Amino acid sequence: MVGGFRWAAMFPDEVWEHVFSFLPADADRNAAALVCRAWYRIERRSRWRVFVGNCYAVEPAAAVRRFPEVRAAAIKGKPHFADFNLVPSDWGGGAEAWVEAMAEGWPHLEELRLKRMVVSDDCLELIARCFKNFKVLSLVSCEGFSTAGLAAIAANCRNLRELDLHENEVEDNCLHWMSHFPESFASLVTLNIACLEGEVNVSVLERLIGRCPNLKTLRLNHSVPLERLVGLLHRVPQLVDLGTGKFAAQHHPELFSKLESAIAGCKNLKSLSGFWEAGPTYLPAIYSVCEGLTSLNLSYATLQGPELIKLISRCKNLQRLWVMDLIEDDGLIAVAASCKLLQELRVFPSDPYGAAQPISLTEHGLVAISAGCPMLHSVLYFCRQMTNAALLTVAKNCPNFTCFRLCIMEPHTPDYITRQPLDAGFSAIVESCKHLRRLSLSGLLTDLVFKSIGASANCLEMLSVAFAGDGDAGLHYILSGCKNLRKLEIRDCPFGDKPLLDNAAKLETMRSLWMSSCSVTLGACRQLARKMPLLNVEVINERKRGLPLELQPDNCPVEKLYIYRTVAGPRSDTPSCVWILR
Amino acid sequence: MSTTETGCSSTEPEVTGGLGYDETELTLGLPGAGGSRPSETDRKRGFAEAVGLNLEAASRGEDRGARSSDSSDGPVSGAVKPSAAKAQVVGWPPVRSFRRNALRSCTYVKVAVDGAPYLRKVDLEAHGGYEQLLAALEEMFSCFTVRHYPDERRLVDPVNGTEYVPTYEDKDGDWMLVGDVPWKMFVASCKRLRLMKSSDAINLATRMPQECSNK
């Protein structure tokens, strides 16, 4: 570099800001900010969208200070395994600290997206009061609030465009929360209340959506009866995304034809979901819009194979399909024949805990889809049997997978024909799919599969492992390979201290590591914590008997371990079952 | 493939590929389904899995599955094979709570705890009586322990000694003490549960002290 030449001063700051506005990803902006002090200063003042993947990775006040002009923030709290009850309910992830800091430093905040956080009504009230131009509230897999909090949002957020409540646990204590939207309020574009359990005042809802000409997404909850859906749809024929309420009623020809024409009247419909309690009676009412559908979520409908086939074969332009395993192999073969544009498939188990009647959903369905749908790149598949041969075929057919999550429901299930572990099959997936970013393993697996993953999965960002591996080598392969790994979650695997300590530095390059029911000891965690000051090493021990953790010996086994990088130091809101080692 | 030896007696046996599964397989009697109440000795896996475990058992809603502690059905079953005595593993298969709950029966009620922001759900039909329900609540909110009084049981937060009384809202919208009415009547009329601080529960409908109301 020419000494003393301040090249950043070649252009006024505004020009650099404009250049930075073309950087698509936060990672790119982060890189730009490291080039020189001037760029750091310019970039931070012009960043208006921030994503915090782990709410404890940074102090809220520090984030707010660094980026004073933020208009849109997305924050995630609990680790992913909280979805499956592996994380204690009082672990943390409270949103107050963030909402308070944002209320203080980002009064112009317009969009807030929270995932897996504990959001109280107080938080919602603070949001409603403090952000004058608030437009988007998205809560995914959150809990801790009630419809009283939603009433505050409705009453105060005059410019609200999106209220998107996805799979939250919401207490219903304010039946008339929707009545709190003022009569003058007309700005809604998205309203998703599918997760609410309580009754919805449909007349109030009708009036609300009737005065929102820009409403594109409406997802109802299962309390809205089918008869009322007709009236609602008449008010919003411009709808693009509809989540029905209860999709069952006594058979009534008049209701059927009203419903059919109301749905046909929505000429822009691209996405359908809901279908609570759907049966074959009213399903044909949606046939007229099937051709235009790009997204179909039938995963809450216990429809059987034949009905599903009749419906889905009409959806020639489908890109995303979520369905229950009741579709069976035959149904998936029909999907493969009809839905040539399919990109994402999720098949959920209708009966995860028993096996009342065997469902004929096997590896054949997955293979058929992989063969018939050339644009497929994302799969979530719950089944009970698999073979290496099938996985090899899938890998060959679909080199473009970005996300592959296979859940064979019985742990340690081998290839049912050869009785071999499924190492070869999953290895084929990671070797063929060079752009794979997310992978979930299942079935009988030895350390060999981890060797392949470590060596080949260069784009892998998230890996979920359960009931797999032989010993330490498995974990070592992962941590010493997988150069883009961000999130690793492991349960019930025989992985111990050595690979953790040998790869301590790797943990700082990742967002987080979760290990439960493995073979890690307290001593290793202590060592790790001492060695790596930029990691929070959280030991979670819910059993109440015995000595407190500080007095336990080094060889004490650790039930659950959550390690994440942070610049905020140990958090101060740990419950009694969580210790942060130093 | 050495794994760390540990001296603690609570060490779980290693999960080795496939064949060790039955050693670590959870064995448990479902509450109220003829088997014994889950106790320490039944749990091979004594982790907080027990919290979620009971949720899994509670959330099944029917009385198929493990009845007694002998539920080892072999490590693997390649072909689809309905297994009558199948042990539950917490959080497996990985189906989100929301999805599990959405496919449940309507005897699934929410459980709220005064002062805590999280809600849980319990399937009343999965339990045979008040004993089992209380045990399930104790598991669900693992920070609490059960304290026995002559005519009732309360849940106690050992950290600060606060006592919680289980209460419920019935179909008429009244808040009642759990245990007042015969079990089946309770299951039919209970809309949701709330662990109320006992100091707040004084005004609730009281019962006659002589009634043995817990069967």
Alpha carbon distance A34, A25 (integer Å): 15
pLDDT digits (tens, 9 = 90+) for A299-308: 999 899 999 9
pLDDT at B43: 38
What is the pLDDT at residue A545? 64
Element at B100 (helix H, strand E)? helix B97-102
| Closest CA in chain A for residue B87 | A353
Nearest CA in chain A to B141: A89
Contact A110, A86 (CB under 8 A): no
Structure confidence at residue A500 (pLDDT): 97
Calpha distance B98→A84 (Å, rounded):
10
- Of A539, A518, A544, A492, the C-alpha closest to B6 is A518
Sign of CA dihedral A98, A104, A106, A108: positive
User: Does the pLDDT at position A3 exceed 80?
Assistant: no
Q: Measured between beta carbons, which residues in chain B are less than 8 angstroms from residue A544?
A: 142, 158
What's the whole-number average pLDDT of chain A? Answer: 95
Question: What digits encode the pLDDT tens for the residues B197-209?
Answer: 888 877 665 543 4
pLDDT score for A357: 65
Nearest CA to CA, how far is B150 from chain A (Å)?
A: 26
Task: Quote the pLDDT of residue B106.
Answer: 55
Mean pLDDT, to the nearest integer, of A72-92? 96
Nearest to B143 among A118, A524, A576 (CB): A576
| Interface with A, mutate which of B2, B4, B62 (most A CBs under 10 A) | B4
| Mutation for A interface: B103, B140, B194, most A CBs within 10 A | B103
Q: What is the mean pLDDT of residues A570-577?
A: 94
CA distance A29 to chain B (A): 34
The owner of tokens 């760029």 is: A39
Token output for A132: 């004058």
pLDDT value of position A358: 76
Q: Is the pLDDT of residue B8 over 80?
A: no
d(CA A201, CA A495): 53
Listed range (A217-231, A311-325, A396-410, B59-73) with the worst mean pLDDT: B59-73
Over 50: is that where the pLDDT of A142 sits?
Answer: yes
Q: Which two tokens stand for residue A16?
A: 């650099």
CB contacts of A353 in chain B (<8 Å) are 56, 60, 65, 86, 88
Does residue B64 surpass a pLDDT of 50? no
- Contact: B10, A543; criterion CB under 8 Å: yes
Q: Is the pLDDT of residue A433 over 80?
A: yes
Contact of B193 with B166, CB cutoff 8 Å: yes
B contacts of A473 (beta carbons < 8 Å)? 1
Q: Which run of H or E residues covers position B122? A: strand B119-123
Question: Which contiguous run of DSSP H or E holds residue A372?
Answer: helix A363-372
A276-286 per-position pLDDT tens digit:
989 899 999 99
According to DSSP, the β-strands at B163-170 and B175-177 are: antiparallel
By the 10 Å C-beta count (0-12 exposed, 13-18 middle, 19+ buried), A350 is classed as: middle
Residues of A in contact with B16 (CB under 8 A): 470, 494
* DSSP-assigned states of every residue in A219-252: E--TTS-HHHHHHHHHH-TT-SEEE-SB------
Q: With an 8 Å Cβ cutoff, is A410 touching chain B?
A: yes
Q: Does the interface ipTM go beyond 0.95?
A: no
Which of B1, B28, B110 is the best mutation test for A, with the most CBs of A within 10 A?
Answer: B1
* A471 CB within 8 Å of a chain B CB: yes
3-class DSSP assignment, residue B131 = helix
What b-and-e string marks burial along A372-382, b requiring 16 or more CB atoms within 10 Å of the CB? bbeebbbbbbb
Contact criterion met (CB below 8 Å) for A192 and A219: yes
Residue B141: predicted pLDDT? 72
pLDDT in tens, A158-180: 999 999 999 999 999 998 999 99
Average pLDDT, chain B: 62
Residue A69: closest CA among A13, A115, A138: A13
**pLDDT classification of B191: cutoffs 50, 70, 90:** confident
Q: Quick one: pLDDT at residue A420?
A: 98
Which chain B positions have a beta carbon within 8 Å of A409's beta carbon? 93
- State whether B76 and A414 contact (CB < 8 Å): yes
Q: How many residues does chain B have?
A: 215
Which chain A residue has the Cα nearest residue B157? A576
pLDDT category at A471 given cuts 50, 70, 90 is: very high
Flag whether the pTM goes above 0.95: no
Confidence band of A231 (pLDDT split at 50, 70, 90): very high
Predicted confidence at residue B211, as pLDDT, reads 39
Q: Is there a contact between A14 and A20 (Cβ–Cβ < 8 Å)?
A: no
Give the pLDDT score at B98: 84
Q: Which pLDDT value is given to residue B59?
A: 38
- Among positive and negative, which fits the CA dihedral A348, A353, B63, B131? negative
Alpha-carbon span B101 to B122, nearest angstrom: 10
User: Could you tell me what percent of chain A has a pLDDT over 70?
Assistant: 98
Mean predicted confidence (pLDDT) in A215-239? 97
Region B24-42 average pLDDT: 42
Select the more confidently predicted residue: B184 or A390.
A390
Average pLDDT for A513-523: 97
At residue A204, the pLDDT reads: 96
Distances from the Cα of A178 to the Cαs of A148, A209, A212, A437, A493, in angstroms?
A: 10, 11, 14, 40, 48
pLDDT single digits (tens) B148-166: 777 666 777 777 778 888 8
Is A536 an interface residue toward B (CB < 8 Å)? no
**Minimum distance, in Å, between the CA of residue B209 and any CA atom of chain A:** 32
Residue of A nearest to B62 (CA): A354
Residues ≥6 apart with Cβ < 8 Å to A199 = A175, A223
Give the per-residue pLDDT at B83.
43
| Residue B80 scores a pLDDT above 90 | no
Quote the pLDDT of residue B120. Answer: 80
Residue A556 has pLDDT above 50, yes or no: yes
Of A93-102, A221-230, A523-532, B146-155, which gets the smallest average pLDDT? B146-155
Read off the pLDDT band of A352 (50, 70, 90).
confident
Q: Lowest mean pLDDT: which of A34-48, A472-486, B138-152?
A: B138-152
CA distance B97 to chain A (A): 6
pLDDT, tens digit (0-9, with 9 covering 90-100), for A42-56:
999 999 999 999 999
Instruction: Name the residue among A86, A519, A555 with its Cβ closest to that of B90.
Output: A86
Nearest CA to B112 out of B51, B76, B164 is that of B164
